[in-house]
Amino acid sequence: MKIGIISSYLPIQCGIATYSSYLIKELRRLRNRVYIVCHKGGKGLDCYPAFNYDDPDLPHKAFKAMMKLAPDLVHIQHEYALFGEQRGMNVIPLVYKFKLIQIPTSITLHTIPKKCDYEEQIIEKALVEIADATIVHEQYQRELIIGRVGHQDKIWVIPHGVREIKPVSKAKEKLGLEDKKIVLLVGYFRRSKNFERVVRIFPKVTESVDDALLLVASGARRPEDIAYQDEFLEFVANSVAKDKIKVLLGPFSEEKFDLILSSADVAVFPYLSGAQSGIMAHCHAFAIPLVVSSDVQAMANLVQKIRSGLVARTDSELAEAIVTILTEKNLAKEFSDSARSYVEKHTSWKIIASRHMDVYNKILKNRYPSGGSCN
């Protein structure tokens, strides 16, 4: 099958770019030809950078580049603002262009807000109605869309994929963190991630676990996040526990990123908002026990579903959960084992790629009933 992917792409520092790279790798292992049409800056095999974020003619440029490749179907990786101004509304005419020439189209909606603002409502409704298949990562997201837009027969749930990988040996030693119990905050700086909450409660953690160290591995990807990064670093400098907090500023190579994850005894997600998380998927890949905020339903539901960590509502519960995982070895091992088993059985990228093929074959069969699939 010839699959066209429209997405941000590596080496652009973006969670959607990383997601797409792992999915594409597995789709190719299934003997598909996969083309990528992406933002300027993307590179790689069969990758064609065709547009900038702010191009007013983005739909035309993306469509023209993709049609030169003659795909059997097109799959768009969607995130709000990824395709220009007004929350990325240029994705709507782009999908229409493929529909008008009867190219089957699927779209993954990586963010499904519980309550959409006006622009998000317009974009979500249009995309679900136009695309042949809409993919989301959680069942509750499917239910939200059905309630708002309908089209239940076109909405598929496919979880975020997870790598199958072994932790780096002697990771703490390589980072100069021997004999420390590592509490990890990782991912790009963003106000909604609420990293300062963990800094605020960390003195309570160190009262119970003297050798605990908060390792923050982050960086500001977007210009609007630089101010938050500066505020966070000042917050750390003013903490009474600053001597037990270490900050590593990215971006990181995949090798360094894996080394950091391998050092963690627990990873914390104090987020105020969001949905599924690529960083959480990486943590599951390394079987790191998690502590997550109850504010993000998707994360809390997933952690409770697979029993890979604890959910905290208050600051007191957050500190207590971290201490519990650092001090109760059997419980921490249980969380790790559950995460590892879940990845192997349900969310490894090879499984996720196979489930994407089910979607592709379904929409091709519906579009060309006499011809069947294009395997």
Which CATH number characterizes residue 206's domain? 3.40.50.2000
> What total number of domains does the chain contain?
2
Answer yes or no: do 256 and 361 share one domain: no
Answer yes or no: do 54 and 150 share one domain: yes
- Annotate 186-214 with DSSP letters as a single string: ES---GGG-THHHHHHHHHHHHH-TTEEE
Answer yes or no: do 72 and 148 share one domain: yes
The count of C-alpha atoms lying within 13 angstroms of the C-alpha of 126, restricted to the half-sphere facing its C-beta, is: 17
309: β partners: 290
Residue showing tokens 């996720």: 352
Are 189 and 195 contacting, i.e. CB atoms less than 8 angstroms apart?
yes
Residue of 245, 219, 311 whose CA lies nearest to 14: 219
Residue 162: DSSP 8-state: B
Query: How much is the pLDDT for 275?
Result: 64
d(CA 54, CA 57): 9
Residue of 47, 115, 42, 58 whose CA lies nearest to 91: 58
Write out residues in the chain with pLDDT < 50, as ranges.
Answer: 371-373
33: β partners: 2
Answer yes or no: do 133 and 232 share one domain: no
Residue of 163, 210, 202 whose CA lies nearest to 185: 202
4: β partners: 35, 74
Answer yes or no: do 118 and 212 share one domain: no
In a domain, 263, yes or no: yes
Are 34 and 3 contacting, i.e. CB atoms less than 8 angstroms apart?
yes
In a domain, 189, yes or no: yes
Answer yes or no: do 264 and 336 share one domain: yes
In a domain, 375, yes or no: no
d(CA 202, CA 185): 12
Answer yes or no: do 42 and 67 share one domain: yes
Q: Which amino acid is at 295?
A: D
Answer yes or no: do 157 and 229 share one domain: no
- As given in the structure block, the two tokens for residue 188 are 């790009």
In a domain, 10, yes or no: yes
Answer yes or no: do 353 and 337 share one domain: no
d(CA 243, CA 101): 62
3-class secondary-structure state, position 78? strand
User: 297: exposed, middle or buried (C-beta count within 10 Å: 0-12, 13-18, 19+)?
Assistant: middle
Model pLDDT for residues 63-103, shown as the tens digit of each residue: 999 999 999 999 999 999 899 999 999 999 999 999 999 99
Answer yes or no: do 229 and 333 share one domain: yes
In a domain, 142, yes or no: yes
Answer yes or no: do 330 and 216 share one domain: yes
Q: What residues make up the domain containing 77?
A: 2-161+348-367
d(CA 286, CA 322): 18
Answer yes or no: do 130 and 44 share one domain: yes
H helices then E strands: how many in the chain? Answer: 15, 13
In a domain, 166, yes or no: no
pTM of the model: 0.86
In a domain, 374, yes or no: no
Query: How much is the pLDDT for 123?
Result: 97
In a domain, 373, yes or no: no
